[in-house]
Protein backbone atom coordinates (compact mmCIF):
# COMPACT_ATOMS: atom_id res chain seq x y z
CA UNK A 1 0.00 0.00 0.00
CA UNK A 2 1.22 3.44 -0.85
CA UNK A 3 -0.04 4.80 2.44
CA UNK A 4 1.91 2.16 4.31
CA UNK A 5 5.15 3.16 2.73
CA UNK A 6 4.63 6.82 3.36
CA UNK A 7 3.63 6.22 6.96
CA UNK A 8 6.48 3.88 7.77
CA UNK A 9 8.87 6.74 7.42
CA UNK A 10 7.03 8.70 10.08
CA UNK A 11 7.84 7.49 13.56
CA UNK A 12 4.62 8.51 15.29
CA UNK A 13 2.28 6.89 12.72
CA UNK A 14 2.73 3.24 13.56
CA UNK A 15 -0.75 2.06 12.82
CA UNK A 16 -1.71 2.16 9.09
CA UNK A 17 -5.20 0.83 9.85
CA UNK A 18 -5.85 3.87 11.99
CA UNK A 19 -4.81 6.13 9.16
CA UNK A 20 -7.04 4.34 6.68
CA UNK A 21 -9.96 4.45 9.12
CA UNK A 22 -9.40 8.14 9.66
CA UNK A 23 -9.36 8.67 5.91
CA UNK A 24 -12.60 6.74 5.53
CA UNK A 25 -14.26 8.76 8.26
CA UNK A 26 -13.01 11.96 6.67
CA UNK A 27 -14.39 10.95 3.24
CA UNK A 28 -17.66 9.96 4.90
CA UNK A 29 -17.86 13.34 6.57
CA UNK A 30 -17.33 15.19 3.28
CA UNK A 31 -20.05 13.11 1.62
CA UNK A 32 -22.38 13.83 4.52
CA UNK A 33 -21.73 17.57 4.16
CA UNK A 34 -22.59 17.38 0.47
CA UNK A 35 -25.78 15.49 1.25
CA UNK A 36 -26.76 18.11 3.81
CA UNK A 37 -26.08 20.94 1.39
CA UNK A 38 -28.20 19.19 -1.22
CA UNK A 39 -31.06 18.68 1.18
CA UNK A 40 -30.88 22.27 2.33
CA UNK A 41 -30.82 23.74 -1.15
CA UNK A 42 -33.85 21.66 -2.11
CA UNK A 43 -35.67 23.07 0.86
CA UNK A 44 -37.27 26.45 0.39
CA UNK A 45 -38.11 26.92 4.03
CA UNK A 46 -37.26 30.47 5.11
CA UNK A 47 -35.50 29.39 8.29
CA UNK A 48 -32.83 27.54 6.32
CA UNK A 49 -32.34 30.47 3.98
CA UNK A 50 -29.59 32.07 6.06
CA UNK A 51 -27.79 28.81 6.71
CA UNK A 52 -27.95 27.94 3.04
CA UNK A 53 -26.34 31.17 1.96
CA UNK A 54 -23.61 30.72 4.57
CA UNK A 55 -22.76 27.27 3.32
CA UNK A 56 -22.77 28.43 -0.25
CA UNK A 57 -20.49 31.31 0.63
CA UNK A 58 -18.03 29.01 2.37
CA UNK A 59 -17.89 26.77 -0.66
CA UNK A 60 -17.40 29.81 -2.83
CA UNK A 61 -14.52 31.01 -0.69
CA UNK A 62 -12.71 27.73 -0.94
CA UNK A 63 -13.18 27.73 -4.70
CA UNK A 64 -11.74 31.22 -4.89
CA UNK A 65 -8.77 30.36 -2.69
CA UNK A 66 -7.77 27.53 -4.95
CA UNK A 67 -7.25 29.81 -7.85
CA UNK A 68 -4.07 31.65 -8.62
CA UNK A 69 -5.57 34.57 -10.53
CA UNK A 70 -7.93 36.97 -8.83
CA UNK A 71 -9.93 38.58 -11.61
CA UNK A 72 -11.06 36.56 -14.58
CA UNK A 73 -13.35 39.17 -16.08
CA UNK A 74 -12.57 40.37 -19.54
CA UNK A 75 -11.96 44.09 -19.23
CA UNK A 76 -12.11 44.47 -23.01
CA UNK A 77 -15.68 43.11 -23.25
CA UNK A 78 -17.80 45.62 -25.12
CA UNK A 79 -21.30 46.88 -24.41
CA UNK A 80 -22.96 48.62 -27.36
CA UNK A 81 -25.55 51.38 -27.10
CA UNK A 82 -27.87 51.67 -30.10
CA UNK A 83 -30.67 53.96 -31.19
CA UNK A 84 -33.31 52.12 -33.27
CA UNK A 85 -30.71 49.59 -34.35
CA UNK A 86 -27.98 52.09 -35.25
CA UNK A 87 -24.77 52.18 -33.20
CA UNK A 88 -24.71 55.23 -30.94
CA UNK A 89 -21.81 54.57 -28.54
CA UNK A 90 -19.81 51.73 -27.12
CA UNK A 91 -17.79 51.18 -23.98
CA UNK A 92 -15.61 48.33 -22.82
CA UNK A 93 -15.81 47.07 -19.25
CA UNK A 94 -12.71 48.98 -18.21
CA UNK A 95 -14.25 52.26 -19.38
CA UNK A 96 -17.57 51.46 -17.71
CA UNK A 97 -15.77 50.75 -14.44
CA UNK A 98 -13.92 54.03 -14.49
CA UNK A 99 -17.07 56.00 -15.36
CA UNK A 100 -19.61 54.34 -13.07
CA UNK A 101 -20.12 53.50 -9.41
CA UNK A 102 -19.75 49.76 -8.80
CA UNK A 103 -21.96 47.79 -6.42
CA UNK A 104 -21.65 44.49 -4.60
CA UNK A 105 -25.05 42.83 -4.61
CA UNK A 106 -26.35 39.66 -2.99
CA UNK A 107 -29.78 38.12 -3.54
CA UNK A 108 -31.51 34.88 -4.49
CA UNK A 109 -31.07 34.72 -8.25
CA UNK A 110 -34.03 32.79 -9.70
CA UNK A 111 -31.98 31.77 -12.74
CA UNK A 112 -29.74 29.77 -10.41
CA UNK A 113 -32.37 29.08 -7.76
CA UNK A 114 -29.97 30.16 -5.05
CA UNK A 115 -28.25 33.09 -3.47
CA UNK A 116 -25.57 34.72 -5.57
CA UNK A 117 -23.10 37.55 -5.03
CA UNK A 118 -22.11 39.81 -7.87
CA UNK A 119 -20.28 42.96 -8.77
CA UNK A 120 -22.48 45.19 -10.88
CA UNK A 121 -23.46 48.61 -12.19
CA UNK A 122 -26.94 49.94 -11.61
CA UNK A 123 -28.96 49.66 -14.81
CA UNK A 124 -30.04 53.29 -14.59
CA UNK A 125 -26.42 54.49 -14.35
CA UNK A 126 -25.56 52.45 -17.44
CA UNK A 127 -28.52 53.81 -19.41
CA UNK A 128 -27.72 57.35 -18.35
CA UNK A 129 -24.07 56.98 -19.36
CA UNK A 130 -24.93 55.41 -22.71
CA UNK A 131 -27.87 57.54 -23.75
CA UNK A 132 -27.90 60.64 -21.56
CA UNK A 133 -31.46 61.89 -21.08
CA UNK A 134 -32.56 60.32 -24.38
CA UNK A 135 -33.65 57.13 -22.62
CA UNK A 136 -36.23 59.15 -20.70
CA UNK A 137 -37.60 61.01 -23.70
CA UNK A 138 -40.99 60.25 -25.21
CA UNK A 139 -39.30 59.51 -28.53
CA UNK A 140 -38.60 55.95 -27.39
CA UNK A 141 -40.93 53.39 -25.81
CA UNK A 142 -38.86 50.23 -25.30
CA UNK A 143 -35.39 48.86 -24.85
CA UNK A 144 -34.22 45.78 -26.74
CA UNK A 145 -31.44 43.96 -24.89
CA UNK A 146 -29.41 41.99 -27.40
CA UNK A 147 -27.44 38.91 -26.37
CA UNK A 148 -24.38 37.36 -28.02
CA UNK A 149 -26.45 34.36 -29.15
CA UNK A 150 -28.99 36.56 -30.95
CA UNK A 151 -31.59 36.46 -28.19
CA UNK A 152 -33.39 39.76 -27.66
CA UNK A 153 -35.29 40.74 -24.52
CA UNK A 154 -37.64 43.67 -24.92
CA UNK A 155 -38.88 45.78 -22.08
CA UNK A 156 -40.87 48.95 -21.80
CA UNK A 157 -38.78 51.88 -20.60
CA UNK A 158 -41.29 52.45 -17.83
CA UNK A 159 -40.13 49.22 -16.19
CA UNK A 160 -36.47 50.16 -16.48
CA UNK A 161 -37.09 53.38 -14.59
CA UNK A 162 -37.76 51.32 -11.48
CA UNK A 163 -34.92 50.69 -9.05
CA UNK A 164 -33.55 47.17 -8.65
CA UNK A 165 -31.98 46.52 -12.07
CA UNK A 166 -28.25 45.79 -12.21
CA UNK A 167 -25.85 44.91 -14.97
CA UNK A 168 -23.52 42.31 -13.51
CA UNK A 169 -19.98 42.00 -14.85
CA UNK A 170 -18.50 39.69 -12.24
CA UNK A 171 -19.68 36.59 -10.40
CA UNK A 172 -18.19 36.84 -6.92
CA UNK A 173 -18.93 33.22 -6.10
CA UNK A 174 -17.08 31.81 -9.04
CA UNK A 175 -13.80 32.54 -10.69
CA UNK A 176 -15.09 32.69 -14.15
CA UNK A 177 -18.88 32.77 -14.36
CA UNK A 178 -20.92 29.94 -12.92
CA UNK A 179 -22.75 28.23 -15.83
CA UNK A 180 -26.48 28.97 -15.84
CA UNK A 181 -29.60 27.12 -17.05
CA UNK A 182 -29.81 23.50 -18.21
CA UNK A 183 -27.79 24.52 -21.22
CA UNK A 184 -24.90 25.51 -18.92
CA UNK A 185 -24.19 28.82 -20.62
CA UNK A 186 -21.64 31.30 -19.38
CA UNK A 187 -23.75 34.39 -18.54
CA UNK A 188 -20.90 36.87 -19.09
CA UNK A 189 -19.60 39.30 -20.07
CA UNK A 190 -22.70 41.24 -18.96
CA UNK A 191 -25.79 39.86 -17.26
CA UNK A 192 -28.91 41.86 -16.39
CA UNK A 193 -30.53 40.98 -13.05
CA UNK A 194 -33.25 42.38 -10.80
CA UNK A 195 -33.01 42.32 -7.02
CA UNK A 196 -36.65 43.08 -6.12
CA UNK A 197 -38.68 40.12 -4.95
CA UNK A 198 -41.36 40.61 -7.60
CA UNK A 199 -39.03 41.73 -10.38
CA UNK A 200 -39.13 38.34 -12.10
CA UNK A 201 -39.33 37.26 -15.72
CA UNK A 202 -42.90 36.16 -14.96
CA UNK A 203 -43.63 39.83 -14.30
CA UNK A 204 -42.00 40.88 -17.59
CA UNK A 205 -38.62 41.99 -16.26
CA UNK A 206 -35.90 41.26 -18.82
CA UNK A 207 -33.04 39.01 -17.57
CA UNK A 208 -30.75 38.51 -20.55
CA UNK A 209 -27.34 36.96 -20.02
CA UNK A 210 -24.42 37.38 -22.45
CA UNK A 211 -25.66 40.92 -22.91
CA UNK A 212 -23.91 42.65 -25.82
CA UNK A 213 -26.12 45.58 -26.81
CA UNK A 214 -28.76 47.92 -25.44
CA UNK A 215 -31.01 49.32 -28.14
CA UNK A 216 -33.39 52.18 -27.48
CA UNK A 217 -36.39 51.71 -29.79
CA UNK A 218 -39.85 52.93 -30.60
CA UNK A 219 -41.81 49.70 -30.61
CA UNK A 220 -44.31 50.56 -33.34
CA UNK A 221 -41.54 51.59 -35.73
CA UNK A 222 -39.30 48.65 -34.96
CA UNK A 223 -41.95 45.91 -35.08
CA UNK A 224 -44.75 47.33 -37.25
CA UNK A 225 -45.92 43.89 -38.39
CA UNK A 226 -46.50 42.78 -34.78
CA UNK A 227 -48.75 45.69 -33.85
CA UNK A 228 -52.49 45.21 -34.51
CA UNK A 229 -53.65 48.25 -36.46
CA UNK A 230 -56.96 50.04 -36.37
CA UNK A 231 -58.28 48.63 -33.10
CA UNK A 232 -59.06 50.24 -29.77
CA UNK A 233 -56.56 49.92 -26.93
CA UNK A 234 -59.21 48.45 -24.68
CA UNK A 235 -60.16 45.69 -27.14
CA UNK A 236 -59.34 42.08 -26.25
CA UNK A 237 -57.01 41.75 -29.25
CA UNK A 238 -55.00 44.79 -28.21
CA UNK A 239 -54.73 43.51 -24.66
CA UNK A 240 -53.51 40.22 -26.05
CA UNK A 241 -50.91 42.11 -28.07
CA UNK A 242 -49.68 43.82 -24.90
CA UNK A 243 -49.15 40.43 -23.24
CA UNK A 244 -47.38 39.21 -26.36
CA UNK A 245 -45.13 42.27 -26.34
CA UNK A 246 -44.26 41.85 -22.68
CA UNK A 247 -43.84 38.09 -22.43
CA UNK A 248 -43.62 36.35 -25.78
CA UNK A 249 -41.90 38.49 -28.40
CA UNK A 250 -38.48 37.82 -26.92
CA UNK A 251 -38.86 34.27 -28.25
CA UNK A 252 -41.61 34.41 -30.88
CA UNK A 253 -42.09 36.44 -34.03
CA UNK A 254 -45.32 37.55 -35.65
CA UNK A 255 -44.95 38.02 -39.42
CA UNK A 256 -41.22 37.39 -39.12
CA UNK A 257 -40.64 40.23 -36.67
CA UNK A 258 -39.49 39.32 -33.17
CA UNK A 259 -37.57 36.53 -31.46
CA UNK A 260 -36.35 33.36 -33.10
CA UNK A 261 -36.08 30.99 -30.12
CA UNK A 262 -39.63 29.72 -30.72
CA UNK A 263 -41.70 29.52 -33.91
CA UNK A 264 -43.34 32.45 -35.71
CA UNK A 265 -46.95 32.37 -34.54
CA UNK A 266 -48.54 34.01 -37.58
CA UNK A 267 -46.41 33.25 -40.63
CA UNK A 268 -46.69 31.55 -42.95
CA UNK A 269 -49.73 30.24 -41.06
CA UNK A 270 -51.31 31.40 -37.85
CA UNK A 271 -51.13 29.08 -34.88
CA UNK A 272 -54.94 29.38 -34.63
CA UNK A 273 -55.36 27.90 -38.11
CA UNK A 274 -53.78 24.55 -37.26
CA UNK A 275 -54.21 24.12 -33.50
CA UNK A 276 -57.38 24.21 -31.45
CA UNK A 277 -57.90 27.21 -29.17
CA UNK A 278 -58.03 25.01 -26.11
CA UNK A 279 -54.81 23.26 -27.01
CA UNK A 280 -53.03 26.59 -27.55
CA UNK A 281 -54.24 27.98 -24.23
CA UNK A 282 -53.29 24.79 -22.40
CA UNK A 283 -49.88 24.80 -24.01
CA UNK A 284 -49.10 28.46 -23.28
CA UNK A 285 -49.99 28.01 -19.64
CA UNK A 286 -48.10 24.78 -19.10
CA UNK A 287 -45.76 23.72 -21.93
CA UNK A 288 -43.56 21.64 -19.61
CA UNK A 289 -46.51 19.30 -19.11
CA UNK A 290 -46.25 18.31 -22.77
CA UNK A 291 -42.62 18.63 -23.78
CA UNK A 292 -39.11 19.25 -22.56
CA UNK A 293 -38.88 22.69 -24.06
CA UNK A 294 -37.23 26.07 -23.78
CA UNK A 295 -40.63 27.69 -23.48
CA UNK A 296 -41.30 28.64 -19.84
CA UNK A 297 -44.60 27.88 -18.08
CA UNK A 298 -46.95 30.82 -17.61
CA UNK A 299 -49.00 29.69 -14.61
CA UNK A 300 -49.99 33.23 -13.68
CA UNK A 301 -51.82 33.99 -16.95
CA UNK A 302 -55.56 34.13 -16.25
CA UNK A 303 -58.21 32.65 -18.54
CA UNK A 304 -58.97 36.20 -19.64
CA UNK A 305 -55.29 36.76 -20.52
CA UNK A 306 -55.26 33.55 -22.57
CA UNK A 307 -58.50 34.54 -24.34
CA UNK A 308 -56.95 37.92 -25.11
CA UNK A 309 -53.90 36.24 -26.64
CA UNK A 310 -56.15 34.06 -28.83
CA UNK A 311 -58.08 37.15 -29.81
CA UNK A 312 -54.81 38.83 -30.84
CA UNK A 313 -53.71 35.77 -32.86
CA UNK A 314 -57.11 35.69 -34.59
CA UNK A 315 -56.92 39.37 -35.41
CA UNK A 316 -53.41 39.06 -36.87
CA UNK A 317 -54.52 36.03 -38.86
CA UNK A 318 -57.49 37.86 -40.35
CA UNK A 319 -55.72 41.18 -40.98
CA UNK A 320 -52.72 40.58 -43.16
CA UNK A 321 -51.06 43.30 -45.24
C1 LIG B 1 -38.00 31.62 -23.64
C2 LIG B 1 -38.63 31.48 -24.92
C3 LIG B 1 -40.13 31.44 -25.03
C4 LIG B 1 -41.05 32.30 -24.49
C5 LIG B 1 -40.80 33.46 -23.55
C6 LIG B 1 -42.32 31.89 -25.00
N7 LIG B 1 -42.20 30.82 -25.83
FE8 LIG B 1 -43.66 29.87 -26.84
N9 LIG B 1 -42.36 28.54 -27.57
C10 LIG B 1 -41.00 28.56 -27.38
C11 LIG B 1 -40.37 27.49 -28.11
C12 LIG B 1 -38.88 27.17 -28.15
C13 LIG B 1 -41.42 26.80 -28.76
C14 LIG B 1 -41.24 25.64 -29.73
C15 LIG B 1 -41.93 24.42 -29.38
C16 LIG B 1 -41.49 23.79 -28.11
O17 LIG B 1 -40.31 23.85 -27.76
O18 LIG B 1 -42.35 23.23 -27.44
C19 LIG B 1 -42.65 27.48 -28.39
C20 LIG B 1 -43.89 27.12 -28.85
C21 LIG B 1 -45.05 27.87 -28.69
C22 LIG B 1 -46.33 27.59 -29.30
C23 LIG B 1 -46.61 26.49 -30.27
C24 LIG B 1 -46.92 25.18 -29.68
C25 LIG B 1 -47.16 24.22 -30.79
O26 LIG B 1 -46.22 23.51 -31.16
O27 LIG B 1 -48.24 24.20 -31.30
C28 LIG B 1 -47.18 28.59 -28.91
C29 LIG B 1 -48.64 28.74 -29.29
C30 LIG B 1 -46.44 29.46 -28.06
N31 LIG B 1 -45.14 29.00 -27.93
C32 LIG B 1 -46.96 30.61 -27.50
C33 LIG B 1 -46.28 31.44 -26.62
C34 LIG B 1 -46.86 32.59 -25.98
C35 LIG B 1 -48.26 33.11 -26.20
C36 LIG B 1 -45.89 33.12 -25.18
C37 LIG B 1 -46.01 34.30 -24.25
C38 LIG B 1 -47.05 34.26 -23.28
C39 LIG B 1 -44.70 32.30 -25.34
N40 LIG B 1 -44.97 31.29 -26.21
C41 LIG B 1 -43.50 32.56 -24.69
C42 LIG B 1 -40.30 29.48 -26.62
C43 LIG B 1 -40.87 30.50 -25.88
Q: What is the CATH number of the domain that holds 282?
A: 1.10.760.10
Cis peptide before 189 (omega within 30 of 0): yes
Q: Whose CA is nearest to atom 29 of ligand 1?
A: 280
Out of 204, 221, 238, a domain closes at: 221
Give CA–CA dist 173/55, Å, rounded. 12
Q: Do 82 and 216 lie in a common domain? A: yes
Q: How many domains does the chain have?
A: 3
Res 6: pLDDT: 36
268 φ, ψ to 5°? -70, -20
Q: Do 91 and 170 lie in a common domain? A: yes
Q: Is residue 293 in a domain?
A: yes
Q: Which residues line ligand 1 (CB under 6 A)?
A: 247-248, 250-252, 261-263, 265, 271, 275, 280, 283-284, 287, 291, 293-296, 298, 309
Out of 221, 245, 270, a domain closes at: 221
Give CA–CA dist 105/172, Å, rounded. 9
Q: Identify the domain containing residue 244 by its residue range.
A: 224-318
Q: Do 136 and 215 lie in a common domain? A: yes
Q: Do 95 and 163 lie in a common domain? A: yes
Q: Is residue 72 in a domain?
A: no
For residue 131, the domain's CATH number is 3.90.420.10
Q: Do 244 and 294 lie in a common domain? A: yes
Q: Do 125 and 210 lie in a common domain? A: yes
Probe target for ligand 1 pocket from 180, 185, 263, with the most ligand atoms within 8 Å of CB: 263
CA distances in angstroms from 299 to 43, 282, 312, listed in the order given:
21, 10, 20
What is the bridge-based pairing of β-strands 165-171 and 142-147?
unpaired
Q: Who's near 19: CB < 8 A, 6+ residues apart?
A: 3, 7, 13
Q: Whose CA is nearest to atom 39 of ligand 1?
A: 248
Q: Who's near 295: CB < 8 A, 6+ residues apart?
A: 251, 262, 287
- Tens of pLDDT along the chain (321 residues) come to 334 333 333 344 447 677 666 777 766 676 665 554 443 443 333 333 443 333 333 334 434 433 333 457 899 999 999 999 999 999 999 999 999 999 999 999 999 999 999 999 999 999 999 999 999 998 999 999 999 988 888 999 999 999 999 999 999 999 999 999 888 999 999 999 999 989 988 788 999 999 999 999 999 998 999 999 999 999 999 999 999 998 899 889 999 999 888 999 999 999 999 999 999 999 999 999 999 988 989 998 999 999 999 999 999 999 997
Q: Whose CA is nearest to atom 20 of ligand 1?
A: 262
pTM, entire model: 0.69
Q: Which atom of ligand 1 lies nearest, measured to the CA of 293?
A: 17
Q: Do 209 and 93 lie in a common domain? A: yes
Amino acid sequence: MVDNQRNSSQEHNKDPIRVVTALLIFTGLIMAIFLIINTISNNNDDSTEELRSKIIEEIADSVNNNSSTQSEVNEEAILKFELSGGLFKEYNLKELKSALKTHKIQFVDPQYGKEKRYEAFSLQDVLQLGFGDKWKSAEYTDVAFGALDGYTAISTILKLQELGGYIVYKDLDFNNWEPVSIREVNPGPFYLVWTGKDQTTANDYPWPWQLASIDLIKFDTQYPAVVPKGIAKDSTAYKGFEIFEGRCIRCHAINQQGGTVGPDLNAPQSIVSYRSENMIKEFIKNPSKYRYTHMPDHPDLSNQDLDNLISYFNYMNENRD
